[in-house]
């Protein structure tokens, strides 16, 4: 087990390849990237990690969690490897943390891919998380996790993978970070607002959206481009919020082309 300052992480790919950090969304798990690791590790030295407060990392969180805290953890992981710079692929929470890292320490960031991210929380996004948190508070962990695929995947994908999702549920319940941690992480995402400074970012960035994302409308990625024309926007027509899982081949091709360009 590799660990630095309470963060569990794994390294994949050739040690001399360009560094790449993968930062997952609300769940915070390194295993989220399993469908993409093989392809990405052919070209990069890939670091995946469990966010603080989740998985195998330190479960203790401060009273208030911010997206800047997530960015600081990524910066610390870069430092711990002795890397001068690294690229980042961030999904939702990991993506907005990448934007915060670009603001705080752009000299450490080579390129950034933000998947289904946002500059400021969209009303639909907030409505979805209100519903999800009410499930968690009033129905419990298992109903919260059982409903989670509705927000992550296209309906037809859920139907085709229903048995797999049911099999994963017990593992997800066992690994759940706790209601308090989930509340703090959602609050951090809801409070994030980059509209005042995102136009100043200069690192090469790709905003990748999915047209059928049920949680974060694809237009949020388009607004990133509107606020900063240096952020290139691409839209996958299908794949849902977790498009890197549902259409890994298309996702891998897009991000590898961008990162190697």
For residue 1, what pLDDT is reported? Answer: 65
Could you give the count of Cα atoms lying within 13 Å of 195 in the half-sphere of its Cβ?
Answer: 7
Give me the residue spans of the domains in the chain. 2-260
What architecture does CATH give domain 2-260?
Answer: 3-Layer(aba) Sandwich (3.40)
**Which stretches of the chain are DSSP H helices?**
34-41, 67-80, 93-104, 123-138, 141-152, 155-160, 162-175, 179-191, 219-227, 243-246, 248-260
pLDDT at 121: 97
At 237-258, the pLDDT tens digits run 999 999 999 999 999 999 999 9
Please report the sign of the dihedral spanned by the C-alpha atoms of residue 240, residue 241, residue 242, residue 248: positive
In this predicted model, what pLDDT tens digit does every residue of 41-98 receive, in sequence order?
999 999 999 999 999 999 999 999 999 999 999 999 999 999 999 999 999 999 999 9
pLDDT tier, 18 (very low <50, low <70, confident <90, very high otherwise): very high
Q: What is the pLDDT of residue 92?
A: 98
Q: Which residue has the tokens 């409070």?
A: 191
Statement: residue 8 has pLDDT above 70:
yes
pLDDT digits (tens, 9 = 90+) for 184-209: 999 999 999 999 999 999 999 999 99
User: For all residues of the chain together, what is the average pLDDT?
Assistant: 97
Q: What is the pLDDT of residues 109-162, one digit of tens each?
A: 999 999 999 999 999 999 999 999 999 999 999 999 999 999 999 999 999 999
């Amino acid at each position: 087990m590799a660990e630095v300052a309470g963060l569990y992480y794994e390294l994949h790919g050739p040690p001399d390849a360009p560094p790449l950090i993968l930062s997952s969304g609300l769940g915070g798990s390194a295993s989220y990237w399993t469908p993409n690791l093989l392809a990405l590790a052919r070209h990069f030295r890939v670091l995946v990690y469990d966010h603080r407060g989740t998985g195998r990392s330190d479960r203790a969180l401060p009273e208030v969690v911010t997206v800047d805290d997530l960015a600081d953890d990524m910066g610390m992981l870069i430092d711990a490897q002795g890397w001068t710079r690294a690229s980042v692929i961030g999904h939702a929470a990991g993506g907005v943390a990448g934007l915060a890292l670009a603001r705080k320490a752009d000299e450490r960031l080579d390129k950034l891919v933000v998947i289904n991210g946002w500059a400021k929380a969209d009303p639909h996004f907030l409505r979805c998380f209100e519903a999800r948190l009410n499930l968690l508070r009033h129905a419990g962990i298992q109903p919260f996790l059982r409903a989670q695929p509705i927000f992550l995947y296209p309906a037809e994908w859920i139907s085709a993978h229903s048995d797999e999702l049911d099999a994963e549920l017990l593992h997800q319940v066992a690994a759940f970070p706790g209601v308090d941690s989930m509340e703090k992480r959602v609050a951090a995402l809801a409070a994030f607002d980059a509209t005042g400074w995102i136009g100043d970012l200069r690192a090469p960035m790709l905003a990748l959206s999915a047209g059928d994302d049920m949680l974060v409308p694809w237009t949020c990625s388009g607004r990133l481009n509107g606020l900063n024309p240096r952020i290139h926007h691409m839209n996958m027509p299908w794949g849902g919020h977790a498009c890197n899982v549902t259409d890994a081949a298309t996702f891998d091709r897009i991000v590898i082309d961008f990162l190697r360009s």
